[in-house]
A = this chain, B = another copy of it.
Amino acid sequence: MTVKSDIEIARAAKMQPIGEVAAKVGIPAEALIPYGTTKAKVSFDYIDAQKDAKDGKLILVTAISPTPAGEGKTTTTVGLGDGLNRIGKKAIMCLREPSLGPSFGMKGGAAGGGYAQVVPMEDINLHFTGDFHAITSAHNLLSAMIDNHIYWGNSLGFDTRRVAWRRVLDMNDRALRQITNSLGGVANGFPRTDGFDITVASEVMAILCLALDLKDLERRLGNIIVGYTRDKTPIRARELKADGAMTVLLKDALMPNLVQTLENNPAFIHGGPFANIAHGCNSVLATKTALKLADFVVTEAGFGADLGAEKFFDIKCRKAGLKPDAAVVVATVRALKMHGGVGKDGLKEENTAAVAKGCENLKRHLENMAKFGVPVAVGINRFITDTDAEVQEIVKAAEALGARAFVCTHWADGGAGTEDLARHIVALTDEGKAAFRPLYPEDMPLREKVKTIAQQIYRASDIACDASVETAFKDLEAGGFGNLPVCMAKTQYSFSTDPNKRGAPTDHVVAIRELRLSAGAEFVVVITGEIMTMPGLPRVPSAENIRLNDAGEIEGLF
């Protein structure tokens, strides 16, 4: 059997006009702003008009702690959505938009894979509907207005050592991580240290993904803290009068993007914030819109459940008033083997003992889901090399915690490969046992929030903060930010802060390095390790092999 590549499968897809896809969930043609024939934004007027409709059920797809073996969270999200549609439920998928920059570094798109993909894949992985470009523009307009304000007299009193707003590009470009700007003399301003992040790391991205509507977007943009005076008084974007123009630049980007799966089911792909210094979920507006239109909305969150699901619940769901009805934790035999101590070279040999040992990682994530009051199931993303005995270890591990696990073959079979999981999700949510609750209350002090997550979710014995971090906690509380949720920036590879500690480590201590306030996004970022906000390109970037072939098709991108 020849296995087709993702791009071959995507190219062979029989896409329906986006209007037909929209009609399946009741969206009329006049509510669509088309971008070509297979992509569209959904208008605010239409979204507003749905506000009294009953919400469908919200299913989060999350995963065990990632390993180099791969898990398949996005493919499972797509597969489960297609599976629900196959068994007669109206389901919409909500996914994040891929970042353009990394496409030119390592080969590989971010729109699912195999027979569980969203299309048009090339467009989604390139400029798509321009959302990220709009975010880049809005972010950099604010940057330009800061230096322009300083140039023309600095009446707000920026301390140029304390400008807190960098610049962004949707590009992997290590040369821009740290720069000195405003060089060249009087006409170019006051030289200062600056740098660029990748666009997905922009606070504007997080804001766009959490905003409830255009008004809320503008309010949040105005709240961004762009720098401080010499006496450390914060200066907001609103004081620069940048919030209005930024909102204008983002007005189209805030509308959710509708595309389709290979099985012609509707999918919203909208927003894509970093999963470390931001919350790592698609936009609130896409999720809320989908809930008004479908019986089931299947969505995903970045990284493993300790980071992605926790932020989805404690930040996105809490702030947007969402009540998830179930969660699926995706696991693979291969990844669990790695959690069980097997190296990358040993993945092909059957090793039930390693799978059983690795299931400690899975089980902890399952336990954690219960702490949010959300019923859980396990999706086993099956590879051809997995043996039945290995799969059975996962089923047993799940059952030990009262959860059921289902083999999913969506990569090879599309929605047909997730029907069992889909039926179980329907049954599970019909039981009405979901009683969503965030892990911590809003009025808990920030330091306590971090400790609660560390102990309850990461199973750390404690957190460790040096004097500067303790001061930062106190300053934030004093500044009136104590009621914000915290956004943990921790390695995704381990429950601990050591990426090499696979499985289910305990009794570790989570050292807090730094706190960063995202006053517009409305969370406090808690940094526990090195955070890279501007990636670089590898020695041989995939860009070198990307080109149009004679048929006008893109080669080398996937």
Contacts and interface: CB of A to CB of B under 8 A. Distances in A.
Interface of A: 33-37, 44, 100, 104, 126-127, 130, 133-134, 136-137, 140-141, 143-145, 147-148, 151-152, 167, 169-184, 187-189, 193-195, 214, 218, 240-245, 247-249, 251-252, 536-537, 539, 541, 543-548, 552, 554, 556-557
Given A34-B35, A35-B34, A171 B140 contact: yes
A126 B245 CA distance: 11
Nearest to A150: B175
A251 B34 contact: no
Prevailing SS type, chain A contact patch: mixed
* 10 closest cross-chain pairs (CB), A and B: A244-B547, A178-B184, A133-B133, A147-B175, A241-B544, A245-B543, A144-B173, A245-B546, A178-B183, A148-B537
A126 B173 CA distance: 26
Given A133-B130, A543-B245, A537 B34 contact: no
A194 B184 CA distance: 11
A33 B36 contact: yes
A245 B177 CA distance: 23
Contacts of A245: 104, 543-544, 546-547, 556
A168 to B, nearest CB: 10
Contact of A137 (B35, B127, B137): B127
Contacts of A104: 141, 144, 245
Contacts of A184: 177-178, 195
Given A37-B34, A174-B188, A543-B141, A244 B126 contact: no
A194 B177 CA distance: 13
B547 A247 contact: yes
A180 B252 CA distance: 35
A537 B145 contact: yes
Nearest to A143: B173
Contacts of A554: 248
A182 B171 contact: no
A175 B152 contact: no
A188 B44 CA distance: 43
Given A134-B127, A178-B184, A180-B179, A244 B548 contact: yes
A37 B134 CA distance: 20
Of A104, A152, A242, A245, which is in contact with the most chain B CB atoms at under 10 Å from its CB?
A245
Nearest to A168: B169
**Number of copies of this protein chain within its complex:** 2
A144 B188 contact: no
Given A104-B245, A184-B178, A218-B548, A144 B171 contact: yes
A181 B181 CA distance: 9
Contact of A188 (B36, B130, B171, B178): B178
A174 B145 contact: no
B548 A214 contact: yes
A147 B196 CA distance: 15
Nearest to A555: B244
A170 B552 CA distance: 28
Contact of A179 (B36, B183, B244, B545): B183
A392 B232 CA distance: 66
B188 A177 contact: yes
B556 A244 contact: yes
B249 A126 contact: yes
Contact of A175 (B127, B181, B248, B556): B181
Nearest to A34: B34
B244 A545 contact: yes
Given A179-B180, A214-B548, A543-B241, A174 B189 contact: yes
Given A144-B171, A147-B173, 6 more contacts: A127-B133, A140-B171, A143-B175, A169-B169, A187-B536, A241-B545
A114 to B, nearest CB: 23
Given A127-B133, A214-B548, A552-B214, A541 B145 contact: yes
Contacts of A243: 547
A328 B27 CA distance: 49
A171 B141 contact: yes
Nearest to A217: B548
A172 B144 contact: yes
Nearest to A139: B171
A148 B536 contact: yes
Contacts of A143: 173, 175
A271 to B, nearest CB: 17
Given A184-B177, A188-B174, A152 B539 contact: yes
